[in-house]
Chains A and B, each alone.
Chain A
Amino acid sequence: MEYHERTPIEDARKYRVGDVIYVTGEVILARDEAHKKLLEEGAPLDLKGSVIYHCGPVVTKVNGEWKVVAAGPTTSIRMEIFEDKFIEKFHPAIIVGKGGMGERTLKALKEHGAVYAAYTGGCGALAAERIKGVKEVHFLEELGIPEAVWVFRVEEFGPLVVTMDSHGKSLYDDVDKNARKNLEDILKKIER
C-alpha cells in the first residue's frame, strides 16, 4: 500500500511492513542528545501523532532564514536505549530513521500503535528537496545544529518504507534470519 498522509497522524496501526508513506505537514528531528533531553525535561511541543526523524541535518542561514541543505537519516539503533520510553511518553505515530531498531522498540510500537519507517540512508539531498522550510528549532544553543530539535515543514516527504509495524512484524528480523541462513551455507562452502 502507498499512503499520502498529513500530520498529525491519528491511526498508525493501519500501516503494515512493506507499505510506503509520503508525509506532508511537519517532521520533528531528534537524535541521541535530543531523546535524552526530551525524556529528562519534557517536550516543548506536542508530539502526539507526530513524525519523529532520526537525523542530524546540514542547515545554514541565508538572509536571516534557515535553509536546509541536506537531511538524510542517521543510524537509529543508537536511539534504542531511549525509544521505548520516548514512545510511551510522547506517543509519536511514525519513527523515521535508517537501519532499523531492536526488540524494545518493536514492543513499544505494538503497545502504543506506532511504526518505524526507513528513509533511504544518506539521501540528504533528496530529503532537502522535500523540506519546504523550518518552522522552529529547540535547544539549538545547547546541542548544536546536528543534535537540536528541528521542526521542518515538509511536502510529500518520502519514500518512507514501513519496516517495523505495530503488529510485531519487523522486516529486519526477516532479512536477518534469511542472511543468517545464507551465511551458514557460505561458511560451509568456504570450509570445503
Chain B
Amino acid sequence: MIDEIVYAIKKAETQLSEDTVKALKEAYERETNPMGKTQLEAILKNVEVARKESLPMCQDTGLQTFFLEVGYDFPYMRELKSALVEAVRRATREIPLRPNAVHPFLHKNSGDNTGRFVPYIHWELKEGDDATIHVIPKGGGSENMSGLYMLSPGVGIKGIKKAVIEHIFKSGGKPCPPTIIGVGIGGGADLALTLAKKAAILRPIGVRHEEDFVAQLEEELYEMANKLGIGAMGLGGDTTVLDVHVEYAYRHPATLPVGIVTQCWANRRAKVHIDANGKVEVV
C-alpha cells in the first residue's frame, strides 16, 4: 500500500482538486478588479504548469496530514501507521517535497517530513472492514490564519457570524485567498477546530451542509465574506473566499466554541481506499 500512498501524496501535491479548479475559473471570469484578476490568472496558470510538469503546485508542500476512516474489522490496522510514515519519507525524496518538520525548540529540521507526532494522523473508526485515507497536506501560511473563539453562549448566532467575518477580515491577504473557510461550532476547543478542518478541506466546494439551517448560514457567511473586497492575495477584488463550510457539535451549556480553519487556494487532497482483501485504490 506504500506505493499507492506515495502516489496519492503526489497527486494531491501536483493536481489541484477539480472542484477547486472550477471554482477558481468561475472566480476569474466574474472578477471585476484588475488587481485581483492578475492574481487569479497567475494561480490558474500555475495550476496548469504543476499538473503538466508533475510539480508541486506550491513550494510549501505542507505538513503531511492524514485523516483516516478505518473499519472496526479492517485487517491491516497494524501496518497502517508505519506505511503512512514510510510513504511520507519516500514522497519527500521522490516528488520531492520541502522538508517541513522542524523541532520546535532545537529548530532542527528532520529532513524527511517526519518527527514527533508528524505526519499528523487523525483516526476515526467506523463500521466495516475497509479503510479510507484522506491525504491532506496543509500549508503553513493558511494554518497560521486559524482561530479559536470561546464566545459567551449569550451572543448567539449573531455573535458567531461576527466572529467569522471579523476573522476573515483580520486574515486579509495572508492566508493566500481565495480561501475556503471551515467553521466548527460547539463541542470543546479541540473538537471545534477538528470539525472546522474537516469542513474546510474534506467537503468539496459548492456542497452544502445537509441541514437547511446550516446550509443557509454557510450561504450567508459566503456572501458577506466576499463583500469585504479583500480579493485574491489581498490585492482587492470580488472573490475573497471560494466557499464557507460549517459543521457543528452539541456544546456544553457554559461554552460556545467557534473554531475557524482557513484553507488556501491550494486545496490539496487525494483519497486512498483499501479493502479487506488488500486491494488498494487511489480515488
Contacts and interface: CB of A to CB of B under 8 A. Distances in A.
A125 B172 contact: no
A121 interface: yes
Given A100-B234, A121-B233, A57 B166 contact: no
Interface string B183-205: 00000000000000000000000
Nearest to B173: A99
Contacts of A127: 59
Contacts of B174: 75, 77, 99
Interface residues of A, number: 50
A159 B42 contact: yes
A20 B60 CA distance: 24
A140 interface: no
A186 B224 contact: yes
A175 B230 contact: yes
A107 B50 CA distance: 37
A117 to B, nearest CB: 11
Nearest to A191: B158
A72 B59 CA distance: 6
A145 B233 CA distance: 25
Interface string B221-246: 00010011111111110000000000
Assign chain B's interface to a size class. Answer: 35 or more
A70 B13 CA distance: 11
Interface stretch (B82-90, B96-104, B125-133, B254-262): B96-104
A18 B35 contact: yes
Given A99-B174, A126-B49, A186-B224, A172 B42 contact: no
B57 to A, nearest CB: 6
A179 B229 contact: yes
B173 A98 contact: yes
Contacts of B141: 74-75, 98, 121
B99 A145 contact: yes
Given A60-B96, A163-B235, A182 B229 contact: yes
Given A120-B39, A122-B57, A172 B173 contact: yes
Nearest to B177: A121
A170 B253 CA distance: 46
A99 B169 CA distance: 13
B61 interface: yes
Contact of B42 (A60, A69, A126, A144): A126
B46 A176 contact: no
11 contacts: A58-B61, A69-B56, A124-B59, A126-B42, A126-B49, A128-B55, A172-B234, A175-B236, A186-B224, A189-B224, A190-B158
Interface of B: 35, 38-39, 42-43, 45-47, 49-50, 53, 55-61, 95-99, 109, 139, 141, 144, 158, 161-162, 165-166, 169, 172-174, 176, 224, 227-236, 264-266
Given A159-B38, A175-B230, 11 more contacts: A58-B97, A69-B59, A70-B61, A122-B60, A125-B57, A128-B49, A172-B234, A182-B229, A186-B165, A190-B161, A190-B162
Interface of A: 18, 20, 55-58, 60, 69-72, 74-75, 77, 98-100, 118, 120-129, 144-146, 159, 161, 163, 171-172, 174-176, 178-180, 182-183, 185-187, 189-191
Which 8 A/B pairs are nearest by Cβ-Cβ distance?
A124-B59, A121-B176, A126-B46, A125-B50, A120-B42, A70-B59, A123-B46, A122-B58
